């Protein structure tokens, strides 16, 4: 038995008590599958589109449809309902879904570090998190936003109680540009890039520089039933995604072109700037999950910051051996 086959067998054995299945395609036929994105297509997904354009999924015997969600909650719901085989999820959403009883499993990662940050709109007046005391910080209302803000304030020696929080939804660009808030929680690779392009003199406090472990922000997820019942599909998808991620790091302009061809409504300059920010920060990796110790740190941080009440069981929440060499 090859090392890869042995690794897959170990993962299936670990998950088998909680799920089973006999799905899959007939021998020699392409395996049809759907992948739900976490958001509208953007630079973080460029490796997926590079893999699709290069025929990597077909080479693995997979006829893959990549779909944009209608809402950020689509992924977990469609996986659980059996209407999609894979989804890109924010890692915190995976933890929340599992706490709610959904038997979802992370099998890979497309972004290898946190993307969340607290972004101030005036870098001269806000040099440290402590400078936000007495100021107003916008949050979307998601639990992870308060976690990010608290982590940055605590690690920066600021008094969290001295900061006024206001819910602004996903309007951080407009709120910071207009000076309605002093800072806001946002993604440094998206809103952070957009604000700089608008000429807003921002200062970023990235959460993994302020107390958070280096968890992978976006993970590829499926159900435990898919891992145990269709292991060749899962391994094939991870192999194809790994090839796409490699193409992205080696030839980013070609991957950007693949993304823009698939989503022509995107602005080329904006997506190029986002992609450059991701690559500069070494946020794009092979697609493989980080080691168990990093994920355990993340699980403890999610509990400490009240994203979930109990830490996810890492051996159940992630198939760590899948996609490894």
Q: Where are the domains of the chain?
A: 3-113+215-317, 116-209
Q: Are 199 and 279 in contact (CB under 8 A)?
A: no
Spatial CB neighbours of 291, under 8 Å, sequence gap ≥ 6? 320
Could you please state the CATH topology (level 3) that the domain comprising 3-113+215-317 is classified under.
Answer: D-Maltodextrin-Binding Protein; domain 2 (3.40.190)
Confirm or reject CATH 3.40.640.10 for domain 116-209, answering yes or no: no
Q: pLDDT by residue (tens digit) across 177-232? A: 999 999 999 999 999 999 999 999 999 999 999 999 999 999 999 999 999 999 99
Measured at the alpha carbon of residue 160, what is the angle toward residues 185 and 141, in degrees to the nearest 5?
40
Measure the CA–CA gap between 171 and 174, rounded to whole angstroms: 6
Both tokens assigned to 106: 């992370």
Q: Is 172 helix (H, G, I), strand (E, B) or coil?
A: helix
- The pLDDT tens digits for 285-310 are 999 999 999 999 999 999 999 999 99
Give yes or no on whether 3-113+215-317 and 116-209 have one common fold: yes
Whole-angstrom Cα Rg for the chain: 20
CB distance 318 to 227 below 8 Å: no
Query: For the packed helices 143-155 and 292-304, what is the interaxial angle rounded to 10 degrees?
Result: 100
pLDDT at 16: 47
pLDDT at 13 over 80: no
- Range with the poorest average pLDDT among 20-24, 259-263, 267-271: 20-24
Q: Give the pLDDT score at 30.
A: 75
What crossing angle do the helices spanning 252-262 and 231-250 adopt, rounded to 10°? Answer: 120
Residue 12 has pLDDT above 70, yes or no: no
Q: What's the Cα-to-Cα distance from 203 to each of 63, 120, 140, 183, 192, rounded to whole Å? A: 43, 5, 19, 9, 9
Cross-strand partners of 62: 31
């Amino acid at each position: 038995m090859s090392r890869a086959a042995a690794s897959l067998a170990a993962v299936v054995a670990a998950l088998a008590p909680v799920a089973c299945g006999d799905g899959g395609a007939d021998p020699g036929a392409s395996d049809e599958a759907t992948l739900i994105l976490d958001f509208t297509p953007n630079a973080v997904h460029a490796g997926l589109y590079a893999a699709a354009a290069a025929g990597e999924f077909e080479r693995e015997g997979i006829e893959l449809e990549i779909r944009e969600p209608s809402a950020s909650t689509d992924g977990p719901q469609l996986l659980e309902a059996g209407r999609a085989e894979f989804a890109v999820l924010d890692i915190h959403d995976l933890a929340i879904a599992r706490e709610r009883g959904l038997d979802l499993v992370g099998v890979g990662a497309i972004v290898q570090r946190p993307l969340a940050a607290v972004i101030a709109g005036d870098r001269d007046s806000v040099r440290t998190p402590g400078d936000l005391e007495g100021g107003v910080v916008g949050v979307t209302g998601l639990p992870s936003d308060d976690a990010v803000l608290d982590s940055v304030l605590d690690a920066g020696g600021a008094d969290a109680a001295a900061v006024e929080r206001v819910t602004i939804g996903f309007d951080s660009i407009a709120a910071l540009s207009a000076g309605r808030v002093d800072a806001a929680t946002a993604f440094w690779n998206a809103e952070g890039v957009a604000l700089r392009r608008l000429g807003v003199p921002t200062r970023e406090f990235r959460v993994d520089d302020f107390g958070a472990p280096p968890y992978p922000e976006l993970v590829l997820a499926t159900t435990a039933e898919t891992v145990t019942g269709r292991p060749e599909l899962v391994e094939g998808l991870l192999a194809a995604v790994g090839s796409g991620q490699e193409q992205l790091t080696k030839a980013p302009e070609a991957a950007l072109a693949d993304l823009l061809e698939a989503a022509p409504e995107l602005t080329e300059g904006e997506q190029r700037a986002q992609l450059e920010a991701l690559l500069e920060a070494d946020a794009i990796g092979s697609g493989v999950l980080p080691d168990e110790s990093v994920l355990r740190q993340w699980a403890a941080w999610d509990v400490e910051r009240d994203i979930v009440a109990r830490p996810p069981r890492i051996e159940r929440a992630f198939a760590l051996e899948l996609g490894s060499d």
